[in-house]
């Protein structure tokens, strides 16, 4: 056990937590915005995958990393708009549409990737982002190199959390989002367009999911691989519940999950006894389920979540 | 401007026309991707059709592939009827496969082995489905998320088995030891893979239809799905029915795994299911949650999956097109369903 403890307080371990938490933080914030407006987005897993593919492809073809990030964000926003079209404009079942969006985007991601790159024995890769040390701060012992010598997308994730909190709690638009998620009828009476606000929130959420996908294919793996997302989207949905639909708590949940995941990776590497490595791979998912069981008792979801809004009815 | 207006009644022919309409729309939409890949649309769909339904062998292959999707489709249809959002059919299928594989390796008379494999597989699937149902009933955990996350847990458990104790020590491949020859499901047609499980799947659909449409449990399931408050008021023990639904749904998904082990692969490997659990959702929706509709819906998707590989070889269009078709079909069907409840009305320049 002391071996494990020793490893926790290492630069590499802290950096690993941050690296694992970054895509989760983007995805969790994205899902949170969507759900705060009353729309569950189960398309997240597929949206992340498709965005990872378009981001990687755009960079691979153009040589520009930021163009790739842009492509991923636009892809995410577009797929968010698709989900909103079905669930908000047409009022269809959010559960089933989300699964539909995931199946569709995953299929499309694999299809287009194979179409563009063909079947190659060595998968193509890109030159990834380089770390960007922040002067002075990166000199802080242990914490500095782990937290302040990171990739620009990591800093963006760090900035996204307070920004999301500000937008949600301190801007008129954030108020609209919360209102259409809690009481769409009241929001409608107050002159807020429920449909428009929900569309905007789901599209913003999709864009953030796109960033999560971009991080996976352009920073973490430098390649697009099959099963790249491998359940991270589903985990993000659970983290929103765990984080009680709050940006800070959600980010905290992402960090906690990343801690468990990083620990799992370390334990796997240290070859603890004869435990199969799959047991460690399961750990984060089991942890999430248990955490949800503990948290769900007093977690209060936005009251209009899953409920379509039609002006004419009732 | 157009507006959606609630229908007071739905024409009967809609029930049949809608899935066909959705499938038609899907094929038209996906033809854009075929054209993008630089192949002839008619040619590509033609190859798909002939490779899945063109001759008797192709038809048997499609039937074999439809079998697990009939079971997962029934599993999802039953669950969704009660608004138990079981997205975990994939994991339940894998659990069923593992359990039946374990039983099938034990020496015993063939018929007994097949019977016990079936029971064990169904029980394993049911046991997995019981987890999200219990979490929902006892702890109010969202069943969508918990059943989704469980898919990953079960998958890694399967991997641990086939890379650990079950690993083929001779070849070193992560494949379980095969079940005994005597436990292999009998082949119905010499020279094909048409096995006994295919018949079972086709029989299961009317049985489940009867259960949903004509029994007390089925009635309770439907009432809970339509109006849980009314169900509770009417004296239905909602939690108990949800648990029963989950057990039934999981058992059906588990049977999908049994059929794959007993009739197709005779062992367990990491890719024993190419996502049959998720396909089950598409099948169930195309069938409008009607157990009888599950059969043609599964046959359609099976034909697409069987035909896609041949199409890929012949025209170079990536076989992943079949995945896109599945997703598009699901979305198209959802839009089509909208027309059962609403009609599109042209309105003047309303705001």
pLDDT tens for each residue of B265-319? 999 999 999 999 999 999 999 999 999 999 999 999 999 999 999 999 999 999 9
pLDDT at A288: 87
Quote the pLDDT of residue A171.
Answer: 97
Which of A234, A237, A238, A261 has the highest number of chain B CBs within 10 A, making it the mutation to test binding with B? A234
Structure confidence at residue B351 as a pLDDT band (50, 70, 90): very low
User: DSSP label at A138?
Assistant: G
B228 inside 8 A of chain A by CB: no
> Is the pLDDT confidence value at A311 over 80?
no
Q: Reduced to 3 states, what is the DSSP secondary structure of residue A227?
A: coil
Could you tell me which of A83, A91, A95 has the C-alpha nearest to residue A47? A83
Weakest-pLDDT range from A203-207, B78-82, B279-283, B339-343: B339-343
Q: What is the CA radius of gyration of chain A?
A: 20
* Token duo for residue B17: 């026309």
- Provide mean pLDDT across the span A302-308: 85
CA pair distance B145, A95, nearest whole angstrom: 10
Provide, as residue numbers in chain A, all residues whose Cβ is less than 8 Å from the Cβ of B324. 104, 107-108, 111
Please report the pLDDT score of residue A25 as a whole number: 97
Q: How many whole angstroms separate alpha carbon B16 and alpha carbon B1? A: 29
Higher per-residue pLDDT: B223 or A276: B223
Phi, psi of A183 (to 5 degrees): -145, 80
What pLDDT does residue B284 have? Answer: 97
What digits encode the pLDDT tens for the residues A98-146? 999 999 999 999 999 999 998 887 778 888 888 878 777 777 776 777 7
Minimum-distance CB partner of B334 among A86, A285, A288: A86
The percent helix, strand, coil of chain B (3-state, each to 5) is 70, 5, 25
* Option in B135, B325, B331 nearest A100 (CB): B331
Banded model confidence at residue B342, pLDDT cuts 50, 70, 90: confident
Range 220-259 of A in CB contact (< 8 A) with B: 230-231, 234-235, 237-238, 241
pLDDT, position B340: 77
Measure the CA–CA gap between A201 and A80, rounded to whole angstroms: 9
**Exposed/middle/buried for residue B330 (C-beta within 10 Å: 0-12, 13-18, 19+):** buried
| Of the candidates B139, B260, B236, the residue with the CA atom closest to the CA atom of residue A294 | B139
pTM: 0.93
Nearest-CB residue to B334 (from A40, A93, A297): A93
Phi-psi domain of A191 (left: phi exceeds 0; alpha: psi -120 through 50; beta: other): left
Instruction: Please provide the size of chain B in residues.
Output: 351
The CA distance from A50 to A59, in Å, is 14
pLDDT of A212-225, one tens digit each? 999 999 999 899 98
Quote the tokens at residue B349. 């320049």
pLDDT, residue B2, reads 65
Q: Which has the higher per-residue pLDDT, B309 or B5?
A: B309
Query: Which range has the worst mean pLDDT, A1-10, A188-197, B30-39?
Result: A1-10
In angstroms, the CA B263 to CA B237 distance is: 39
Say how far apart CA B15 and CA A93 lie, in whole Å. Answer: 19
Question: If DSSP codes are grouped into helix, strand and coil, which group holds residue A128?
Answer: coil
Q: Which of residues 256-275 of B touch A (CB under 8 A)?
A: none
Question: What pLDDT, on a 0 to 100 scale, did the predictor assign at position B240?
Answer: 94
Alpha-carbon distance of B320 to A115, in angstroms, equals 10
A90 vs B152, B163, B335: nearest CB: B335
Query: How far is Cα B151 from Cα B100, in angstroms, rounded to an integer?
Result: 18
Cα A185 versus chain centre, distance? 30
| H/E stretch holding B5 | strand B2-6
Q: Which residue of A has its CA nearest to B144?
A: A95
Report whether A308 contacts A86 (CB < 8 A): no
Determine the pLDDT at residue B350: 46
- CA-CA distance, B108 to B102, in Å (whole number)? 13
Element (H, E) at A81: helix A65-84
Q: Over the stretch A143-157, which tens digit does the pLDDT of each residue have? A: 777 777 788 899 999
Plot region of A218 (φ>0 → left; ψ -120 to 50 → alpha; else → beta): alpha
Crossing angle (nearest 10°) for helices A94-117 and A65-84: 150
**Angle, vertex CA A290, rays to CA A286 and CA A295, nearest 5:** 145
């Amino acid at each position: 056990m002391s071996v494990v403890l020793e490893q926790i307080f290492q630069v590499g371990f802290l950096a690993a937590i941050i690296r694992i938490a970054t895509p989760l933080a983007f995805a969790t914030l994205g899902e949170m915005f969507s759900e705060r407006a009353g729309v569950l987005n189960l398309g997240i897993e597929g949206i992340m995958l498709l965005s990872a593919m378009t981001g990687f492809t755009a960079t691979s073809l153009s040589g520009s990393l930021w163009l790739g990030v842009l492509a991923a964000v636009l892809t995410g926003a577009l797929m968010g708009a698709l989900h909103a079209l079905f669930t908000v404009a047409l009022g269809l079942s959010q559960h089933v549409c989300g699964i539909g969006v995931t199946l569709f985007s995953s299929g499309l991601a694999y299809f287009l990737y194979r179409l563009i790159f063909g079947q190659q024995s060595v998968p193509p890769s890109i030159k990834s982002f380089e770390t960007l040390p922040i002067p002075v701060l990166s000199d802080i012992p242990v914490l500095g190199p782990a937290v302040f010598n990171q990739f620009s997308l990591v800093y963006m994730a760090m900035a996204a959390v307070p920004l999301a909190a500000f937008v949600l709690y301190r801007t008129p638009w954030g108020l609209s989002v919360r209102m259409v998620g809690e009481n769409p009828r009241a929001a409608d009476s107050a002159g807020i367009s429920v449909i428009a606000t929900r569309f905007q929130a789901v599209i913003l959420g999709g864009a953030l999911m796109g960033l999560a996908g971009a991080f996976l294919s352009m920073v973490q793996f430098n390649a697009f691989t099959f099963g790249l997302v491998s359940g991270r989207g589903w985990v993000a949905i659970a983290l929103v519940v765990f984080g009680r639909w709050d940006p800070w708590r959600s980010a905290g949940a992402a960090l906690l999950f990343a801690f468990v995941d990083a620990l799992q990776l370390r334990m796997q590497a240290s070859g603890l006894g004869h435990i199969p490595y799959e047991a460690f791979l399961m750990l984060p998912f089991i942890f999430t389920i248990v955490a949800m069981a503990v948290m769900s008792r007093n977690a209060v979801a936005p009251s209009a979540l899953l409920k379509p809004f039609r002006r004419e009815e009732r | 401007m157009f507006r959606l207006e609630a229908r007071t009644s739905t024409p009967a022919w809609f029930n049949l026309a809608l899935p066909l309409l959705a499938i038609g729309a899907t094929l038209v939409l996906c033809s854009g991707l075929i054209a993008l890949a630089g192949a002839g649309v008619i040619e590509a769909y033609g190859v798909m059709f002939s490779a899945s339904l063109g001759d008797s062998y192709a038809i048997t292959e499609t039937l074999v592939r439809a079998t697990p999707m009939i079971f997962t489709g029934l599993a999802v249809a039953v669950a969704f009827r009660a608004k138990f959002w079981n997205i975990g059919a994939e994991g339940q299928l894998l659990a069923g496969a593992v359990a039946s594989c374990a039983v099938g390796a034990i020496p015993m008379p063939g018929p007994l082995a097949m019977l016990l494999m079936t029971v064990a597989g169904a029980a394993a699937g049911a046991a997995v489905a019981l987890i999200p149902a219990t979490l929902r009933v006892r702890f109010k955990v969202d069943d969508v998320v918990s059943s989704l996350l469980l898919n990953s847990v079960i998958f890694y458990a399967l991997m641990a088995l086939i890379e650990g104790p079950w690993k083929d020590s001779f070849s070193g491949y992560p494949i379980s030891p095969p079940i005994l020859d005597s436990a292999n499901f009998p082949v119905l047609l010499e020279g094909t893979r048409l096995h006994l499980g295919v018949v079972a799947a086709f029989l299961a659909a009317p049985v489940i239809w009867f259960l949903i449409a004509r029994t007390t449990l089925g009635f309770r399931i439907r009432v809970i799905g339509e109006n849980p408050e009314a169900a509770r008021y009417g004296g239905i023990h909602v939690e108990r029915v949800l648990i029963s639904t989950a057990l039934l749904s999981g058992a059906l998904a588990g049977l999908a795994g049994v059929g794959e082990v007993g009739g197709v692969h005779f062992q367990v490997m990491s890719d024993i299911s190419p996502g049959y659990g998720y396909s089950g959702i598409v099948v169930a929706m195309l069938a409008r949650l009607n157990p009888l509709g599950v059969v043609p819906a599964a046959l359609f998707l099976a034909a697409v999956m069987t035909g896609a590989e041949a199409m890929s070889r012949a025209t170079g269009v990536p076989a992943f097109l079949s995945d896109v078709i599945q997703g598009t079909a699901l979305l198209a069907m959802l839009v089509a369903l909208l027309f059962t409840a609403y009609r599109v009305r042209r309105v003047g320049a309303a705001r």
